[in-house]
Amino acid sequence: MRKVLVLNPIHPDGLARLAADPGVELVGPGDITPENLPGHLAGAEAIIVRGTAIDRPLLAQAQRLRLVVRHGVGYDSVDVPALQERGITLAITPEANALSVAEHTLMLMLSLSRQIARFNASVRSGAWVVPGQSPTRDLFGQTVLLLGFGRIGTRVAKLCAGFGMRVLVHDPAIPANTIRGLGFLPAPDRAAALAEAEIVSLHCPSNALTRNMVDDAFLAQMRPDALLINAARGTLVDEAALERALARGHLRGVGIDVIAEEPMREVPAFLAHERVLVTPHVAASTAEGLHRMALASADNVLQFFAGALSPEAIVTA
């Protein structure tokens, strides 16, 4: 029997898939308490995790551990070097949440373009006002720049194209012919593309090359009437620089699902601006998305034990 620890709540179907395997001893989140966690960690060969930090103190208690599965695609809370030192495999669920995040990205674009939050608040306060000159915008015909063209970025591109938008793509890892072949416009010169785009949407991982990429210089290159969308990682944005840009009236709006420090301990200053629309990192957390991620997490565990874990799911081995 291989002991599998599920540290945080996931969809019951994912737990059921693991429990149905006769070779798995499943310890679900309802079985775990602060008092018995060390004992469970000591025998665990695999862990599925959503929000719990996988750090060195936790790993020191899990000497039999061979696999960590992130329920999702981000692994900022996982100490990857510590896993590598131990030869522990880290896996993600790469396809499970891409559609949900792509749809959320379009929701942010639409909500900001049509100023849904402002109109909703106005009507609820008793003001039924139809502006003579509307400040809202159509998505049709607008130029959107996607920074990153992976599983989510490619889906966002297709959704934007469906709205009749002109789609620019900047991703040094993707050949221009590939972008062009899919019907979109490669934008190798990022600065020139930022100056052109009416909407800029981030779809990059957070790493040494991209962390705080949205800084003062980046924002200054954007059109003053542009929208900035971030449903990727909060650490892509220098939040102090964003606050400065908003304070001087730069940008038509900002739509974000992520902030630099999660969970939020203090409200970042830039969130005080009415032009900012924020959600609490829920882009992937639709009922369907959570179901897909739970099943994919369970499959990763079972495939790993069978020696058949998909290379696409492996971050490090």
By annotation, the residues acting in catalysis are 233, 262, 281
Distance, first Cα to last Cα, the chain: 22
CA 187 from chain center: how many Å? 23
Return all residues near 117 (Cβ < 8 A) that are at least 6 apart: 111, 277
Provide the 8-state DSSP code for 25: E
Rounded Cα distance, 290 and 64, in Å:
28
160: helix, strand or coil: helix
Structure-block tokens of residue 27? 């310890």
Residues in the chain: 317
Q: How many CB atoms lie within 10 A of CB 134?
A: 9
Strands 227-230 and 67-70: unpaired
CA distance 262 to 259: 6
